[in-house]
Amino acid sequence: MDAVVKFTSQSQGRDRIFRATQYACALSIYLLRNNPERKDLVNKLKSLETNISAGRKLLRLGNTANSIVAVKQAMRLSDRVLRLCITAANINRALYFICDNLLWARNVGLILSIDKERWSINASRCYLYSLVMNLTQDLYVILQLMLQKGRDNHFKQKMNQHLNESPEVAEVTIPELDTFVFLLLETLRSEPTVALDTVKNICDLFIPLDKLGIYKSSAGLVGFCGLVSSLIGILTLARPTLRIKP
C-alpha cells in the first residue's frame, strides 16, 4: 500500500494510470461494439474515456517546462548523436504540449478562433516526430551495445556454441542473419531498459500514424498499443532501474 501511495503521489504516476485506463476503455469499446446487450456498458465506457481524456488535457498544462528542462540537460551529453536525438525529441514534445494546451483552451472556450482540426493534426505531427527521434535514439543505443557485445570474448564463445548446436539446421539458415538475430536478442536480453523503451515507442507510434491517416489501423489496435505502452510506462516509473538513461 505504501508503494502504491508513493507511486500515485507523483504527478506522472497518476497520469500514466489515467492513460492506461483511457486506452483500456478504448480497447473495450472496440471489442464490445457489436454486442447489442452491452450498449449501456459501451456508453458508460465512452463517457469515462472522454472524461479522462479531458482531465488529462488539463493536467498536461504545465508540461512544456518539463521538456525544456530535458533539452537543457541533454545539451550536457558527450555523445553527439544522442544529444541530437534527445534534444530534437524534447523540442518536438514541447511543441506537442503547446498545441495540446491550445486545443484545451479551444475545448474550454477560452480561445474560439482556433481551427480545432488543424491544431489537432499539428499536435499529432509533433508527437510523431518526437517518437521517431526517440526510436532513432533507441536504435543507435542498440547498435552501440551490439558492437560492444560483438567484441566481447565471452559472447563470441556463446555465439560459436549456438552456431554449432544444430548443424543440420545451419545449412538452411543464412549464417550472417542468424548471427545478427542472435546478437540482437542477446543484447536486448542483457539490456531490458532499451528493449522496454523500444517496445513502448513502437506501440506509441501507431497512435499518431492512425490519427494522421498515414497508417490507418483499427481503433482496437490503437487502444491495445496505447494500453501496452501505458503499462510499460507504469512499470518503468515503479521500477526506476528499468528506465532508460539518459
Partner 1 sequence: MDSWVRFNSQSQAKEKVFRAAQYSCMLLGSTLTKSRAASDLQRIVSDLEAHMSLTRKLLRLGNSVEALQAAKRAIHLSDGVLRLCITIAHLNRAMYFACDNVLWAGKTGIISKLDHHKWSQRSFRYYLFALILNVTRNVYEVCLLLDGEDRCRSTKSSSPSDVLPDDRLSSSSAVPATSPPALMFARLCRLMGQVGAVLYNNPPLLLDLLKNSCDIFIPLDKLGLYRTGPAFVGTCGLLSSVLSIVTMLHPWLKLKP
Radius of gyration of the chain from Cα atoms?
21
To the nearest 10°, the Cα dihedral for 142, 182, 205, 96?
-10
Q: Does 4 bind partner 1 (CB under 8 A)?
A: yes
CB 90 within 8 A of CB 67: yes
Exactly one of 33, 35, 39, 110 binds partner 1 (CB under 8 A); that residue is 110
CB 93 within 8 A of CB 102: no
Q: In this chain, which stretch among 12-20, 82-90, 91-99, 180-188 interacts with partner 1, using CB under 8 A?
A: 12-20
Cα(87)–Cα(142) distance, rounded to whole angstroms?
A: 19
Exactly one of 33, 35, 108, 118 binds partner 1 (CB under 8 A); that residue is 108
Exactly one of 75, 76, 109, 176 binds partner 1 (CB under 8 A); that residue is 109
- Interface mask toward partner 1 for 40-79; x: CB under 8 A: x--xx--xx--xx-xx--xx--xx-xx-xx--x-------
Cis before 192 (ω within 30)? no
Number of residues that bind partner 1 (CB under 8 A): 33
CB of 245 to partner 1, least distance (A): 18
CB of 88 to partner 1, least distance (A): 20
Residue 27 has, within 13 A of its CA and on its CB side, a CA count of 15
CB of 105 to partner 1, least distance (A): 10
Q: Which residue has the cell 489496435?
A: 221
Nearer to partner 1, 10 or 217 (CB): 10
Which class for 99: exposed (0-12), middle (13-18), buried (19 or more C-beta within 10 A)?
Answer: buried
Q: In this chain, which stretch among 13-21, 119-127, 157-165, 210-218 interacts with partner 1, using CB under 8 A?
A: 13-21
CB 205 within 8 A of CB 131: yes
Q: What is the largest CA-CA distance in the chain?
A: 70
Q: Does 181 bind partner 1 (CB under 8 A)?
A: no
Residues at the contact surface with partner 1, assessed by CB under 8 A: 1-2, 4-5, 8-14, 18, 40, 43-44, 47-48, 51-52, 54-55, 58-59, 62-63, 65-66, 68-69, 72, 108-110
